[in-house]
Amino acid sequence: MQGITKRSLVKDAVLITAGIFSAALGLKGFLLSSHFIDGGVTGISMLLASIFHVPLAVLIPIINFPFIIMGYRQIGKAFAFKSTAAITGLALCLALVEFPDVTPDLLLTSVFGGFFIGAGIGLAMRGGAVLDGTEVAALLVSRRNSGVRVGDVILGMNIFIFATAAYFLGVDIALYSMLTYFTASKTVDFLIHGIEEYTAVWIVSDHHEEIRELLTDKLHKGVTVLNSEKGFGKRGAQTEATKVLYSVVTRLEVSRLRDAIAEIDPLAFIVQHGIDDARGGIVKGRPLH
């Protein structure tokens, strides 16, 4: 158990360190020379740095500090310690490490600056830390206001940031900065959820037993069989008992799964929706053929 803990700590440290250098490259190698900003707490720090000419390496830890305190109280000591180390490391990297100004092209600066920042934030999150306190703030607000979602809080915060950027820095810079944020957020999503984002599939069919065998025996997928009852069909109201199959696959497997089901029952009713994560059970089986 101690060996596993040590390996886990080393892995987290490597991920966080890689995240620090990636984010620093995105900031110093791309965005700062063009005065572009990102969203969230990092964006606020960059906006204030541009307006008041204060070093970004000073503002990032100062503005993130209150959110780390919130994270310590609500999430835990390990998260707060890792995040403090990550943000401090980012500040030191910005202050001490020299990065070349990679390109003068504004579009490339916007896109690749966002990519490297997003990669840095995503890698740090995989290591159990944050380089940006936005998610912590949004999570706390959503917990205190049950009708408010995390995404709504982040969206509202970024609307304010980019509107302020348009006023102080100009509309063009604000628009390029929005592109930077969009690229960064998509990169974070990719690193956190990966290309194998999970999809839940519900299947209603009169041939449920054949489809269950297809899922378990041929496609090597886990399946949950739920007792159900038909409600309303082509012949009107019904009370006939039936089975509903529930399975979780990666999104790369959805198309092949639907084709395989259609070979058994072209009229099968299939509902699918994305899920953030899945653990345990049989999710990653053998490749579909």
pLDDT of residue 190: 83
Residue 64 has pLDDT above 60, yes or no: yes
Taking the C-alpha atoms of residue 140 and residue 247, their distance in angstroms, rounded to an integer, is 32
pLDDT of residue 79: 85
pLDDT of residue 194: 66
**The three-state (H, E, C) secondary structure of the chain, written as one string:** CHHHHHHHHHHHHHHHHHHHHHHHHHHHHHHHHHCCCCCHHHHHHHHHHHHHCCCHHHHHHHHHHHHHHHHHHHCCHHHHHHHHHHHHHHHHHHHHCCCCCCCCCHHHHHHHHHHHHHHHHHHHHHCCCCCCCHHHHHHHHHHHCCCCCHHHHHHHHHHHHHHHHHHHHCHHHHHHHHHHHHHHHHHHHHHHHCCCCEEEEEEECCCHHHHHHHHHHHCCCCCEEEEEECCEECCEECCCEEEEEEEEEEHHHHHHHHHHHHHHCCCCEEEEEEECCCCCCCCCCCCCC
Question: What mean pLDDT comes out for the span 69-83?
Answer: 84
Kindly report which listed range (9-13, 63-67, 82-86, 217-221) carries the lowest average pLDDT score: 217-221
Q: What is the pLDDT of residues 6-61, one digit of tens each?
A: 778 888 999 999 999 999 999 999 999 999 999 888 999 999 999 999 999 999 99
Residue 95 has pLDDT above 60, yes or no: yes
Residue 63 has pLDDT above 70, yes or no: yes
Beta bridge partners of 226: 244
Q: What is the pLDDT of residues 216-267, one digit of tens each?
A: 888 788 888 888 877 765 665 667 788 899 998 877 678 778 888 988 998 8
Residue 195 has pLDDT above 60, yes or no: no
Which domains can be identified in the chain, with CATH numbers? Answer: 2-193 (no CATH), 198-275 (3.30.70.120)
Kindly report which listed range (128-132, 165-169, 195-199, 259-263) carries the lowest average pLDDT score: 195-199
pLDDT of residue 288: 40
pLDDT of residue 140: 67
Residue 196 has pLDDT above 60, yes or no: no
Confidence class for position 4, pLDDT limits 50, 70, 90: very low
**Quick check: 92 and 142 in contact, CB under 8 A?**
no
pLDDT of residue 84: 92
Name all contacts of 170-173 with Cβ < 8 Å and 24+ positions apart: 173/34, 173/35, 173/36, 173/37
Please give the mean pLDDT across all residues of the chain.
Answer: 84
pLDDT of residue 198: 79
Confidence class for position 90, pLDDT limits 50, 70, 90: very high
Q: What is the pLDDT of residues 137-192, one digit of tens each?
A: 766 665 666 555 656 677 788 899 999 999 999 999 999 999 999 999 889 888 87
